[in-house]
């Protein structure tokens, strides 16, 4: 019996034990995605005889004689080529990176009205890391059934915005890849047609079972005898060059402490050897056949222990100066010691002092597309790498540095990237596939499993923050002192940057004459930490914003009023750890005061809505409270962030924009099309954007640090403005008039009242040998600041510790919002991810240094049922430094959420929770310790 796939009988038969997902992809159905291979995420959902199933755990043999429908075949013969649910996802833009979208659509396509009425239950098997689920709910049900409490004038999508048909600044332009995403045609890293995979080899990794050990020997013979195994690579095959997996414009920002393959392993899960084979199964069998002799070394698992005299050294053999490690003999990769004013004097002047130790945990990015890369060496000997990366140009530079290659001998391209959040600002797969491809001269692919993502990539840095702060009765902040220890894990990638950045804007947002910071980033024999949304700010802001509420309570002042009296105002110096402000950071615009007002007003309206609905009194077991927090972020990373863009008028009169920045749900493709369209007085649909390819433009530092709009976007805008001038000048020349008499208008230039089609101009330019093209560049400086304020109303059950989020609201100062719907989606996604990090997400490392939360069902990311429908508001500002007044808004929505939620819980219960995550059991135990748990509830437990 054959398997019928999208109405056609397959000619192939599944292999013994093969899952339906891999079988379908082998038959060319690349819309079927892998997010977990454990039945947890739903990205692989297909229909079998009309019933949605997770194809990663569905044996392919069970589909024999059945009809299987994938996203590619869902529409069938539907009018317009789209199934109604696909059309709704297209119209409502129910996606961001889009990696989960095919699975979401396939699940929702089977819903009846009753199922739509209970999405928390019926979408529980489909996870999204990007959107925050509101846009998905609107796509599945239509937003008419979900009235938004934000109300008119909020600045959110669909409320008083310009006509999206123009596709220029301020319009809700749909993403250019929308149709491809909802039909499964969007091509992510491994979505390479079979005809382009001739001779493809697969790489799998043997990983260390020890937290610290020296590799004495590796017996390869048994592995090499496994049928299909082509090679085994060890440290003997790897370059000696040390590097950092972290990627920054200046590679010297990070310590050189890593080898492609090392003979010393420093955490459980580190690479030991790589097996390359004709199939994944053969490579895995080869890994199992390897025999390794280790000499175990002493290990240390907490930064506090690592700092003690005599502690085991993680990189003790490294040359501090050469490797750029602050103090390897103390396990310190970087440190900061600073005092402005005198904190002793500040505390002496305080009427109330708050002291507390705050702790934040490891959090995983959980981008649904795992790290993956394919490397090949072409006929000219040029290394070609296709990778899931936020930083393709920096990947190229690192590969050149590690393997001693010239930049023109390496080509790196990123397809559509299935989520990043900072986790793909690393080189974690590209170096290994490059090593194998250069050695074997055949294409080599590596795709990490979900377990490898948890155990062998990176996490958010855990912070321990000892805080002491003082305030005077008049509401003046008198002193702020912090002792910060961050756990960078076994390697220092991003360790210095996260520590320095975390101690930056979190302190600079408050005026205080006396500030002291002592911070250390510390090595341990645990899974490495790395870049994560907010880049250290979310951890520090949790402590500082929690302290602001405690100070306000201590002096009897409203917490928002206390912030208002102490926050920086336009014109104030922004001081954190240096006596002078950073020279290139300015108030391009200032909307923090508006954000506070918007959140205050929204919370007041929410309280009134609850009162009128009779929901204010939930019963004697429920305690209700509200809380808020603010945050500030520099709109660009420091010390240079560069972008180059090219725009060209095409023969058909449309435009082509070449940019270097990557698209991973951050919406940069749409923004670049809109910026170009605005400068060229045309529609965004007439601007085709090519990106994430090192052959397209000279250089782009990458899509991190919220730089997609404010750096790469400025380069695109500069190129578009120059091209507009050149087109007008050329039109003036052929019509023998002044350029001032020529006006761009859609698909034509209006010259003295008559329209000249751009296609005609393009043809005339070709004939005249004139290239109607332009370039733009931006170096990331000067920089502005963006602001976010979040507020919550919550209810806490005193008998069980259960938490209900009754209201969630965020106000953002994003300058002129290029695409309100898209920007709102970024904010909602950041809120959802931050709620998970606040309430339950935690990468748990046991006493032996092993990650125990290594699959999705052990690591709870927010599902549809977990995420409230947040109100989103935009401050009315126009940034003088950003492109057409815009500011960044990718990382910053995450940052104020945890302290706002902790402050709301504190307001409701009187209990300060200073350790994340604030899980239900911790809430219950905290309430019990405070004497708030009813006696009968305690007796039951």
- Kindly compute the dihedral angle of the four CA atoms of residues 169, 174, 175, 181, in this order, to the nearest 10 degrees: 180
Look at residue 157 in the predicted model and tell me its pLDDT. 37
Mean pLDDT, residues 774-796: 97
Whether 347 has a pLDDT exceeding 60, the answer reads yes
What's the rounded Cα separation, in Å, for the pair 864 and 170?
29
Span between the terminal Cα atoms of the chain, in Å: 56
Tokens, residue 277: 């084979």
- Strand (E) or helix (H) holding 677: helix 668-680
172 closest CA partner among 147, 138, 127: 138
Q: How far apart are CA 586 and CA 591, in angstroms?
A: 13
Judged against a pLDDT cut of 70, whether residue 794 lies above it is answered with yes
320-346, pLDDT tens digit by residue? 999 999 999 999 999 999 999 999 999
- Residue 159's pLDDT is 39
C-alpha to C-alpha distance for 655 and 650, rounded to whole angstroms: 6
> pTM to 2 decimals?
0.96
Torsion from C-alpha of 304, 307, 308, 314, nearest 10 degrees: 110
Residue 175 per-residue DSSP state: P
């336009």: which residue's tokens? 570
DSSP notation for 876-919: ----SSSGGGB---SSGGGTTHHHHHHHHHHHHHS----BS---
Pick from 584, 583, 588, 582: nearest CA to 570: 588
* 557-596 exposure pattern, b = at least 16 Cβ within 10 A, e = fewer: bebbebbbbbbbeeeeebbbbeeeebebbbbbbbbbbbbb
Distances in Å between the Cα of 275 and the Cα atoms of 206, 233, 265, 283, 290 are 8, 6, 18, 6, 9
Percent of the chain with pLDDT over 70: 97
Residue 841's pLDDT band (cuts 50, 70, 90): very high
Which residue shows structure tokens 């890369």? 373
Question: In the prediction, which pLDDT does 156 show?
Answer: 45
* Helix 84-92 and helix 134-141, axial crossing angle in degrees, nearest 10: 140
- pLDDT band at residue 941 using 50, 70 and 90 as cut-offs: very low
Describe the crossing of helices 758-768 and 713-735 by its angle, rounded to 10 degrees. Answer: 80
Task: Calculate the alpha carbon distances from 598 to 493, 563, 567, 810 in Å.
Answer: 38, 15, 16, 8
Phi, psi of 784, rounded to the nearest 5 degrees: -110, -170
Confidence of residue 319 (pLDDT cuts 50, 70, 90): very high
Convert the pLDDT of each residue in 477-497 to its tens digit: 999 999 999 999 999 999 999
Calpha distance 497→518 (Å, rounded): 15
Contacts of 502 (CB under 8 A, 6+ apart): 461, 463, 484, 486, 519, 535, 536, 537, 539, 540
CA distance 149 to 765: 53
pLDDT at site 610? 80
Q: Where are the alpha helices (DSSP H) in 11-109?
A: 20-26, 84-92, 101-108
In angstroms, the CA 202 to CA 806 distance is 49
- Mean pLDDT score, 210-226: 98
Taking alpha carbons only, the member of 296, 706, 251, 702 closest to residue 492 is 251
Burial track 612-627 (b if 16+ CB lie within 10 A, e otherwise): eeeeeeeeeebbbbbb
Q: Is 412 left (phi over 0), alpha (psi -120 to 50) or beta?
A: beta
Residue of 33, 43, 144 lying closest to 103 (CA atoms): 43
In the block, tokens 């200073």 appear at 914
DSSP secondary structure string, 324-371? T-SBGGGTEEEEEEEEES-HHHHHHT-SEEEEEEEE--------SSPP
pLDDT greater than 50 at residue 160: no
pLDDT in tens, 374-421: 999 999 999 999 999 999 999 999 999 999 999 999 999 999 999 999
Query: According to the model, what pLDDT value does residue 609 have?
Result: 85
Does residue 681 have a pLDDT over 50? yes
Does position 150 have pLDDT exceeding 60, yes or no? Answer: no
Tally of CB atoms within 10 A around 77? 6
What's the pLDDT at 168? 86
Instruction: List, for residues 126-147, the tens digit of each pLDDT value.
Output: 999 999 999 999 999 986 445 5
Strands (E), 408-530: 410-413, 444-447, 463-471, 477-489, 515-523
Write the DSSP string, 189-210: TT---GGG-TT-EEEEEEE-SS
- Render pLDDT for 630-676 as a digit per residue (tens, 0 to 9): 999 999 999 999 999 999 999 999 999 999 999 999 999 999 999 99
Residue ranges in 413-572 assigned as alpha helix (H): 430-440, 450-456, 495-502, 505-508, 537-555, 559-566
pLDDT at 38 over 60: yes
- On the question of pLDDT at 881 being above 80, the answer is yes
The mean pLDDT of the chain is 95
pLDDT tens figures, 904-923: 999 999 999 999 999 999 99
Model pLDDT, residue 143: 62
Confidence at residue 301, expressed as pLDDT on a 0 to 100 scale? 98
């Amino acid at each position: 019996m054959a398997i019928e796939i999208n109405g056609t009988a397959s000619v192939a038969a599944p292999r013994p034990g093969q899952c339906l997902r891999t079988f379908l992809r082998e038959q060319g159905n690349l819309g079927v995605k892998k997010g977990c291979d454990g039945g947890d995420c739903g990205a692989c959902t297909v229909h079998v005889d009309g019933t949605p199933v997770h194809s990663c755990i569905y044996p392919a043999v069970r589909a024999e004689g059945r009809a299987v429908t994938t996203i590619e075949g869902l529409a069938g013969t539907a009018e317009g080529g789209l199934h109604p649910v696909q059309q709704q996802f297209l119209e409502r833009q129910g996606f961001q990176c889009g990696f989960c979208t095919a699975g979401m659509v396939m699940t929702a396509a089977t819903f009846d009205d009753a199922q739509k009425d209970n999405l928390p239950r019926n979408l529980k098997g489909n996870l999204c890391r990007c959107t925050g689920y509101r846009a998905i709910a609107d796509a599945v049900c239509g937003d008419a059934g979900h009235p938004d409490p934000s109300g008119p004038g909020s600045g959110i999508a669909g409320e008083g915005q310009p006509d999206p048909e123009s596709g220029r600044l301020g319009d809700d332009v749909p993403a250019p890849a929308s149709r491809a995403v909802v039909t499964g045609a969007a091509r992510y890293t491994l979505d390479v047609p079979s005809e382009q995979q001739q001779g493809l080899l697969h790489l799998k990794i043997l990983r260390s079972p020890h937290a610290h050990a020296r590799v004495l020997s590796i017996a390869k013979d048994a592995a090499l005898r496994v049928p299909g195994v082509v090679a085994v690579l060890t440290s003997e095959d790897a370059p000696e060059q040390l590097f950092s997996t972290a990627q920054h414009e200046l590679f010297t920002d990070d310590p050189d402490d890593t080898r492609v393959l090392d003979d010393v392993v420093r955490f459980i899960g580190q690479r030991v050897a790589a097996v390359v084979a004709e199939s994944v199964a053969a490579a895995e069998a080869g890994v199992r056949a390897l025999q390794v002799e280790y000499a175990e070394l002493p290990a240390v698992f907490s930064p506090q222990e690592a700092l003690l005299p005599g502690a085991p050294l993680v990189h003790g053999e490294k040359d501090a100066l050469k490797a750029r490690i602050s103090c390897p003999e103390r396990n310190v990769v970087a440190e900061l010691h600073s005092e402005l004013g005198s904190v002793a004097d500040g505390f002496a002047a305080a009427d109330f002092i708050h002291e507390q130790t705050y702790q934040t945990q490891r959090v995983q990015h959980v981008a649904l597309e795992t790290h993956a890369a394919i490397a090949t060496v072409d006929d000219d000997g040029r290394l070609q790498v296709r990778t899931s990366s936020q930083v393709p140009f920096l990947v190229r530079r690192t590969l050149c540095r590690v393997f001693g290659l010239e930049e023109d001998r390496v080509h790196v391209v990123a397809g559509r990237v299935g989520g990043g959040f900072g986790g793909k600002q690393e080189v974690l797969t590209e170096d290994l596939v490059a090593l194998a491809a250069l050695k074997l001269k055949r294409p080599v692919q590596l795709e990490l499993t979900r377990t490898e993502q948890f155990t062998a990539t990176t996490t958010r840095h855990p912070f321990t923050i000892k805080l002491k702060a003082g305030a005077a009765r008049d509401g003046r902040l008198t002193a702020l002192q912090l002792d910060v220890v961050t756990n960078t894990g076994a390697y220092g990638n991003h360790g210095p940057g996260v520590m320095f950045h975390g101690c930056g804007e979190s302190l600079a947002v408050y005026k205080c004459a006396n500030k002291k910071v002592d911070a250390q980033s510390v090595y341990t024999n645990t899974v490495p930490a790395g870049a994560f949304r907010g880049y250290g700010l979310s951890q520090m802001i949790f402590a500082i914003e929690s302290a602001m509420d405690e100070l306000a309570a201590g002096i009897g002042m409203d917490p928002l009023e206390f912030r208002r009296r102490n926050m920086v105002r336009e014109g104030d110096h922004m001081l954190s750890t240096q006596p002078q402000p950073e020279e290139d950071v300015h108030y391009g615009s200032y909307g923090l005061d508006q954000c506070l007002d918007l959140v205050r007003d929204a919370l007041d309206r929410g309280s009134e809505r609850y009162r009128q609905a009779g929901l204010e009194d939930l019963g004697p077991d429920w305690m209700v409270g509200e809380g808020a927090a603010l945050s500030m972020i520099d709109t660009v990373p420091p010390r240079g962030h560069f972008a180059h863009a090219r725009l060209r008028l095409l023969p058909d009169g449309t435009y082509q924009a070449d940019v270097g920045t990557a698209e991973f749900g951050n919406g940069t493709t749409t923004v670049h099309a809109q910026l170009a369209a605005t400068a060229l007085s045309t529609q965004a649909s007439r601007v085709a954007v090519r990106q994430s390819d090192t052959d397209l433009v000279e250089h782009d530092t990458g899509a991190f640090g919220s730089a997609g709009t404010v750096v790469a976007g400025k380069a695109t805008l500069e190129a578009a403005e120059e091209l507009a001038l050149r087109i007008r000048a050329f039109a003036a020349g052929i019509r023998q008039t002044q350029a001032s008499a020529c006006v761009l208008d859609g698909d034509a230039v209006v010259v003295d009242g008559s329209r000249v089609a751009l296609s005609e101009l393009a043809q005339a330019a070709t004939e005249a040998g004139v290239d109607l093209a332009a370039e733009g560049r931006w170096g990331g400086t000067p920089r502005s600041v963006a602001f976010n304020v979040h507020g919550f109303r919550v209810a806490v059950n005193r008998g069980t510790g259960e938490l209900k989020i009754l209201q969630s609201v965020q106000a953002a100062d994003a300058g002129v919002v290029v695409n309100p719907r898209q920007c709102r989606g970024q904010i909602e996604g950041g809120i959802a991810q931050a709620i998970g990090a606040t309430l339950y997400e935690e990468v748990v490392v046991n006493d032996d240094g092993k990650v125990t939360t290594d699959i999705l069902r052990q690591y709870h990311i927010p599902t549809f049922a977990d995420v409230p429908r947040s109100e989103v508001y935009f401050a009315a500002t126009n940034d003088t430094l950003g492109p057409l007044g815009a500011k960044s808004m990718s990382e910053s929505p995450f940052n104020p959420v945890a302290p706002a939620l902790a402050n709301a819980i504190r307001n409701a219960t009187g209990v300060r929770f200073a350790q994340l995550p604030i899980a239900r059991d911790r809430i219950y135990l905290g309430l019990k310790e405070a004497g708030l748990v009813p006696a009968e509830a305690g007796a039951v437990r």
